[in-house]
Structure 1
Amino acid sequence: MKVAQKVAIVTGGGGGIGGALVARLAADGAKVVVADLDEAAARTVSEKVNAAHPGTTVSAGADVSDTAQISRLIALAESEFGPVDMYFANAGITGATGLDAGESDWDLSIDVNLRAHIRAAQLLVPQWLDRGEGYFVSTASAAGLLTQIGSATYSVTKHAAVGFAEWLNVTYGDRGIRVSCLCPMGVNTKLLYEGQESGDALGMAATRAVTAAGDVLEPDAVADVVLAAVEDERFLILPHKQVLEMYRHKGADYDRWLRGMRRYQQTLLGD
């Protein structure tokens, strides 16, 4: 799909990968609603992009795990630019570590990392089916294909996000709905370093695991990879090419892979 003249919503658009996606979409001729829980951050990104590409973006503060607030974003896009063509479900959180994560921790991670995608699709896919096309881009993680040392909430919800994106693709891919799923490893965003800054042993190990596994990419580089995949309508987006080889090793011998991950975790924890 060519993004020129398309109307897009980018969640988590106040910085990081989301902010880079907004800039790239606008540069390629799209109109974009920049959504973020941090309204000021969304506004800053929007103003910066509009300075380079006037009239291409508007911003809004929104909790995109809330169906009513997703509806508000869709209405904003329609009033400012027209019907939504593309939805980038990019907002995400790292979540608590270990089995001490409580019910509220699990609820928050499931709501932000998974249900936000489901709720957006429930609102948009029926419209897209009527129009004959639409594009849903899910930001998951390499943790959704492999796993995440430290945080069960992150690993489980990112696996679920990949699964939901797969289901959307299988169910609606022959009816004009395009679906892609982004699964990066380390990207130079605040999210990457939250574990390191937490002081929690598992959280610090999680950050070390990601930064040691491959290059830490800049958000702009990831956005370039995403938009190239969207143009080609490819499902799996892997900015870190080694993730595919890791995934193949996992599938080829699951028990061997699990043993290797346990040894790797022991190394990171200094056990």
Structure 2
Amino acid sequence: MNVQDKVIVVTGGADGIGAAMARRFAREGARHVAVVDRNGEGARAVAAEIGGKAYETDVSDGAAVAAMVAAVEADQGHIDLFCSNAGVGDGDPDRNNAVSSPDPVWARAWGVNVMAHVHAARAVLPGMIARGEGYLLNTVSAAGLLSQIGGAVYSTTKHAAIGLAESLAITHGDQGIKVSVLCPQGVDTAMLRAGGSGSPQSLDGVLTPDEAAEHVIQGLAAEKFLILPHPEVLTYMQRKTADYDRWLGGMRRLRAKVMGG
């Protein structure tokens, strides 16, 4: 997909990768960029900067997402590209207990990291299928393909997000629907910084949000399912699938290293 003249929605657009994508789409000549975020003030600031429109929306609320999509389409016509980018990341409160996060943390992550993608697809797929074309870009994480040490909630929900994206591509690919997943490792965002220095996802280098957005543009142009800003992730995936037990052993060694033994 070439984003020029397209109507695009970006959730989580108030900052980080979402804001960088919104700015880049505008520079690439998108006809309209809808900037969606629970942080309405931040969304309005980005929208004003790029000549778009802001929508203060909780993406874990299906009715709110449907209303936002209806409002965008009433204002701009059909949506060509929906970037479901919003996400949350919580570390394990007890780093020696993978299931130590309380139920509300699991529920919040499930709502934002998984169900937000479901709500988006439910809202835009009928129109896209009727037109015979449309694009869904879901920001996931390398954690959805591999894992994240000390982040069981994050890893689990991101794995689920990959499964959903695969199902969307398999079920609707022959109906003209394109699906991509953006799976970076370390990107300089508030979420990464909250994890502190030395986090394992930073081992292969930390990209700027603008660099991640450049990979999005390239991945959309190639219409690739996997958009991997860190190319090392593909090698790690291949090692994982080639010998799962060996990979798990290596991850345990990495965990011991990053946790100081």
Alpha-carbon distance in 1 for matches of 2:22, 2:13:
7
Q: 1:39 is matched with which residue?
A: 40
Return the letter of the residue paired with 2:218.
A
- The yes-or-no answer on 1:99 pairing with 2:89 is no
Tell me the CA shift for residue 267 of structure 1: 1.1
Tell me the CA shift for residue 96 of structure 1: 4.2
- Superposition pairs of residues 38-77 of structure 1, within 5 angstroms: 38-50=39-51, 57-77=52-72
Alpha-carbon distance in 1 for matches of 2:163, 2:123:
19
Alpha-carbon distance in 1 for matches of 2:18, 2:141:
14
Tell me the CA shift for residue 121 of structure 1: 0.6
Maintained 8 Å contact 2:66/2:119: no
Q: Residue 208 of structure 1: which of 196, 199, 202 is its match?
A: 199
- The yes-or-no answer on 1:194 pairing with 2:184 is no
Structure 2 runs not aligned, ≥5 long:
93-97
SS at match of 1:127: helix
Maintained 8 Å contact 1:36/1:63: yes
Maintained 8 Å contact 1:129/1:176: yes
Return the letter of the residue paired with 2:254.
Y
Structure with the largest fraction of helix: 1
Tell me the CA shift for residue 3 of structure 1: 1.3
SS at match of 1:178: strand
SS at match of 2:66: helix
Tell me the CA shift for residue 194 of structure 1: 1.4
Tell me the CA shift for residue 210 of structure 1: 1.2
Maintained 8 Å contact 1:96/1:105: no
Percent identical across equivalent pairs?
44
Alpha-carbon distance in 1 for matches of 2:199, 2:154:
16
Alpha-carbon distance in 1 for matches of 2:91, 2:142:
18
Q: 1:84 is matched with which residue?
A: 79
SS at match of 2:195: helix
- The yes-or-no answer on 1:263 pairing with 2:253 is yes
Q: 2:112 is matched with which residue?
A: 112
- The yes-or-no answer on 1:233 pairing with 2:223 is yes
Alpha-carbon distance in 2 for matches of 1:191, 1:96:
10
- Superposition pairs of residues 235-254 of structure 1, within 5 angstroms: 235-254=225-244
What whole-Å deviation, never above 9, does each CA across 1:135-186 have from its counterpart, x for those lacking one? 0001000000100101111000101111111111111111100000110000
Return the letter of the residue paired with 1:77.
V
Alpha-carbon distance in 2 for matches of 1:77, 1:216:
34
Structure 1 segments of 4+ aligned residues over 4 angstroms from their partners: none
Tell me the CA shift for residue 79 of structure 1: 2.8
Larger deviation: 129-138 or 66-75? 66-75
Tell me the CA shift for residue 114 of structure 1: 0.3
Q: 1:53 is matched with which residue?
A: none
Return the letter of the residue paired with 2:162.
V
CA RMSD, Structure 1 to Structure 2 (Å): 1.1
Return the letter of the residue paired with 2:204.
G
Return the letter of the residue paired with 1:183.
C
Q: 2:95 is matched with which residue?
A: none
Return the letter of the residue paired with 1:166.
E
- The yes-or-no answer on 1:123 pairing with 2:123 is yes
Alpha-carbon distance in 2 for matches of 1:268, 1:27:
39
Alpha-carbon distance in 1 for matches of 2:172, 2:70:
23
Alpha-carbon distance in 1 for matches of 2:119, 2:199:
33
